[in-house]
Amino acid sequence: MIYQISHNIISSLGFTSEDNYRAVKSGKTNLTLQDKAFSLPEPFFGSLINEELLDAEFSIINTKSIRYTKFEKAAILSVYKALLQTNIAADAPNVQFILSTTKGNVHLLENLDGFDAERVYLWKSAQLIAEFFGNKNEPIVISNASISGASAQITAKRMLEANECDYAIVVGADMLSKFVVSGFQSFKALSRELCKPYDKNRVGLNLGEAAATIIYGKTAQQLPADTIVLAAGAMANDANHISGPSRTGAGLFLAIQKTMEDIQPEEIAFINAHGTATAYNDDMESLALTSAHLNNRPINSLKAYFGHTLGAAGVLESIISSLAIIDNTILKTNNLQEQGTVAPLNTPTENQHCNEHAFLKVLSGFGGSNAALLFKKTK
């Protein structure tokens, strides 16, 4: 098991985890119709990080003469703010950076805008992020579609438990671009209005920008009593289709089974699921959760607050859910009016109180990938 030492979220809802959590708890979202962004022929519904606000905060912390992209700035600022709450020396050899992203600086393919062509490589961004903090270990980059943020935390857990490092700084980030939005549009996967996870009338997902960081350590030393631990995590593949969710939920069920080995469904306060609000994903999840006897436990999706934040999603949603369980709260699924998945689920439409100490985070994505993470409160 590994311990959350600190965390941060940079999103359209705020630049700290706490601001983001408060916004979500009060039912706020900045998902909106974007009809000017990226000169797309078709508008899309999504949330963007305000670049002026980001620049204003970034310019205060920036000590380098290097020009950074929005993606790099958001990731660096997120790590910086997470580190600020700790006494960890990020430049120490026992600290490992792990970057979770699907597309990094892919927008530079359209126009390099004065940047070196090398900047489209994900490892290059990761190096720049680690170097900003003086860290000399080769950073790890995981690019595992929608489950990237969960894969990165599982990788952190393994490296910490194998004594390959003492601290792991997991940062998940993805920005939107013409590239990313047009691709999802070509997949006819986007909703033209606020997405409706698990709703009978759900028609697709929203996209959102975010950078989110969790710093993990090996011991509970000097941590508050209600620290969150990552107790278990596992991945599994559907072996079914490269983009379509499994029709049975077999892969997600397998990942959950592996993660829930030492815990009973009743001990789970809630499952923070993927809940993208596409017809097939949400149905698939309902089947997998039913197979795992979790269909009666409260289930929520955060997608109608942030949109799908891609490589950041697994990290961001783990943080929000961690703050929720510390707050003994089950967050409602925003914009859910009428539950309508192929197998019925328990999806609260109002925030609720909870007493249990554990929650499950699940994600599924392109490539048939599925992941489950089990988090527990130490007190």
Partner 1 sequence: MNAGITSYCRITNDKVIVNAQTIDVPRTDSSWLNDIYHAANISYPKFFKMDNLAKAGFLGAELTLQDVGIDKTEPKKNIAVVCCNRSSSLDDDTAYQQTIQNPADYYPSPAVFVYTLANIVTGEISIRNKIMGESAFYVMEHCNPQKFCSFVRGAFSDKTIDACLCGWTEYNNGNCDVLFLFVTRNELNDLELNIEKLYR
Partner 2 sequence: MEELITELKKEIIDVLNLEGMTPDDIDSDAPMFGDEGLALDSIDALELIVLLEKNYGIKLANAAAGKEVFKSVRTMAEYVSKNRTK
- Determine the Cα–Cα distance for residues 354 and 266; give it in Å rounded to an integer: 12
Is residue 142 a contact partner of residue 99, using CB atoms and an 8 Å limit?
A: yes
Please say whether the dihedral angle defined by the alpha carbons of residues 14, 18, 22 and 27, taken in this order, is positive or negative. Answer: positive
**Per-position x/- string for 43-82, each x denoting binding to partner 1 as judged by CB under 8 A, each - no binding:** ----------------------------------------
Should residue 115 be labelled a site residue for partner 1 when binding is judged by CB under 8 A?
A: no
Give the three-class secondary structure for 317: helix
Does residue 64 interact with partner 2 by CB under 8 A? no
Residue of 109, 222, 337, 344 interacting with partner 1 (CB under 8 A): 109
Which of 18, 35, 91, 138 lies at the binding interface for partner 1 (CB under 8 A)? 138
Name the segment binding partner 2 (CB under 8 A); options: 116-124, 214-222, 242-250, 288-296: 242-250
Of the residues 50, 219, 222, 243, which one makes contact with partner 2 according to CB under 8 A: 243
Binds 244, which of partner 1, partner 2, none (CB < 5 to 8 A, cut-off by type)? partner 2
Distance between CA 127 and CA 144 in Å, rounded? 19
Which residue type sits at 169? I
Q: Which is nearer to partner 2, 172 or 365 (CB)?
A: 365
- Binding of partner 1 by 141 (CB under 8 A): yes
**Sign of the CA dihedral 132, 223, 379, 15?**
negative
The three-class DSSP label of residue 28 is: coil
CB-wise, 104 or 340, nearer to partner 1? 104
d(C-alpha 81, C-alpha 65), whole Å: 20
Q: By C-beta, is 275 or 368 nearer to partner 1?
A: 368
Least Å distance, CB 243 to partner 2, is 6
CB of 37 to partner 2, least distance (A): 22
Rg (Cα) of the chain, in Å, rounded? 19
d(CA 144, CA 365): 8
Residues 131-190 that bind partner 2 (CB under 8 A): 186-188
Alpha helices for 106-204 (secondary structure H): 122-132, 148-161, 178-186
- Residue 314 binding partner per list partner 1, partner 2, none, with a CB distance cut-off of 5 to 8 Å that depends on partner kind: none
E strands, the chain, are: 2-11, 32-34, 44-47, 95-100, 140-142, 167-174, 207-208, 210-217, 228-237, 268-272, 299-300, 329-330, 352-353, 358-365, 369-377
258 binds, among partner 1, partner 2, none (CB under 5 to 8 A by kind): partner 1
Q: What CA dihedral angle connects 298, 303, 305 and 310, to 10 degrees?
A: 130
Structure tokens at 161: 């438990």
Is residue 244 a contact residue for partner 2 (CB under 8 A)? yes
Choice between 195 and 234, CB closer to partner 1 = 234
Using CB under 8 A as the binding rule, whether residue 120 contacts partner 1 is answered as: yes
Token pair of 101, please?
């992203």
Q: Integer distance in angstroms from the first to the last C-alpha of the chain? A: 15
From the list partner 2, partner 1, none, partner contacted by residue 346 (C-beta under 5 to 8 A by kind): none
Residues that bind partner 1 (CB under 8 A): 41, 102-104, 106, 109-110, 120-124, 126-127, 138, 140-145, 151, 154-155, 158-159, 161-162, 164, 178-179, 182-183, 185-187, 234-243, 250-251, 254-255, 258, 365-369
Interface residue list for partner 2 (CB under 8 A): 186-188, 241-244
